[in-house]
Structure 1
């Protein structure tokens, strides 16, 4: 794991809040001159701290009004079946996130579709027919209470000395 100092954390936090921030403005925000700031950003990218840049988009604004969390249980956990399942999931545009998890299920999917009919089509004609799928359980998201998909480590303020 890479060691991040407070300046690195401030850089990451600033880019999380505003990914298109010009390097001059970023440098000013974190207290560096542009050249060392650019070197730090490049190092953070090369070391995998910053993995990519993207725009956060509103699903309803894109016509994706239904969101679901789908628990998937496999009946076969052989490497071949799991790899085939994962490959099929990666190819499905409705699945925006897939996590291998512990507990009663094997995978948790975040699925976006335009409506219930589209979700039903995905679930019945695609998901349930994928390799190794024994069963699924879907929960529909009624309201997003918090969606901080862009997050960053918060720099720790120096410890206050007591008087």
Structure 2
């Protein structure tokens, strides 16, 4: 892990909450000059700590009203690589997150779709046909209490 000093931590804290801060506003917030902030941000980007700058959309405003978690268990004896089988799903726009996990299931997918009919179609046409699927369990999210929270950067 890269060494982060207090100034780096304050910059990351501020940018996670508002990535659109101007350099001048950020510099004032973290008590550095704009040129110092710029150099530190460049270093944080080059080191891979800052992975990019993204635009977050409101899924519901975009018509994606259903969030579901899909739990996949794989029959590893019937396949060369479980990750390769799931890899086909990673290119799908419906899939927001995919995690290889420990426990009863092997993967958890988070998907966003317009409605339950679209979820059913996605499950039957994209998930069920995957090679080596042993079990699929789906849970529909009723309410999201926190999502995409900032990472802890300050002790």
TM-score class, shorter: over 0.9
Q: Secondary structure at the match of 2:4?
A: coil
1:59 maps to 59
2:97 maps to 97
2:74, 2:135 within 8 Å by CA — same for their partners in 1? Answer: yes
Q: Secondary structure at the match of 1:112?
A: strand
1:159 maps to none
2:79, 2:131 within 8 Å by CA — same for their partners in 1? Answer: no
Q: Where in structure 2 are there 5+ consecutive unaligned residues?
A: none
CA RMSD of aligned residues (A): 1.6
2:152 maps to 153
In the alignment, the residues of structure 2 paired with residue 47 and residue 116 of structure 1 have an alpha-carbon distance, to the nearest angstrom, of 42
Give the CA deviation at 1:155: 2.6
Give the CA deviation at 1:3: 1.5
In the alignment, the residues of structure 1 paired with residue 78 and residue 132 of structure 2 have an alpha-carbon distance, to the nearest angstrom, of 9
2:71, 2:138 within 8 Å by CA — same for their partners in 1? Answer: yes
Aligned residues: 155
1:95, 1:111 within 8 Å by CA — same for their partners in 2? Answer: yes
The CA deviation string for residues 55-102 of structure 1, in whole angstroms up to 9 with x for no partner, is 222111110011001100111268843242232021111110000000
2:86, 2:130 within 8 Å by CA — same for their partners in 1? Answer: no
Normalization by structure 1: what TM-score?
A: 0.88
Normalization by structure 2: what TM-score?
A: 0.93
Q: Secondary structure at the match of 2:122?
A: helix
Cα pair distance change 1:111/1:32, threshold 3 Å: same
In the alignment, the residues of structure 2 paired with residue 151 and residue 78 of structure 1 have an alpha-carbon distance, to the nearest angstrom, of 39
